[in-house]
Amino acid sequence: MEHTGSEPNVVITPYPDGPLLVRGAFLLRAPDGTPIEPGRSTIALCRCGMSAIKPFCDGTHKVTGFRAASGRDPGPEPAGAPSV
């Protein structure tokens, strides 16, 4: 999907082996629609699932050895694809 127009209001940056950093004018809501007050304009969202303060990151990914790239995950290789 191509972005047209000016700069986006929100920028989300996945950090290697770490959280998603969210910067800009955003709304954060629970699944039931209840607002979650972030308390700041830049937040780190947990990607490892181990944070004690979900949905926010508390740095637990460092001690658990969580690994994730900062780019798009290519997903599983199709069956029968040659290995490289």
Give the pLDDT confidence score for residue 83 in this predicted structure: 58
The pLDDT-based confidence of 72 (bands split at 50, 70, 90) is confident
The pLDDT-based confidence of 13 (bands split at 50, 70, 90) is very high
The average confidence (pLDDT) of the chain is: 87
- Radius of gyration of the chain from its Cα atoms, rounded to whole angstroms: 16
How do residues 14-36 score in pLDDT, each as one tens digit? 999 999 999 999 999 999 999 99
How do residues 34-43 score in pLDDT, each as one tens digit? 999 999 999 9
Put simply, whether the predicted model's pTM sits higher than 0.85 gets the answer: no
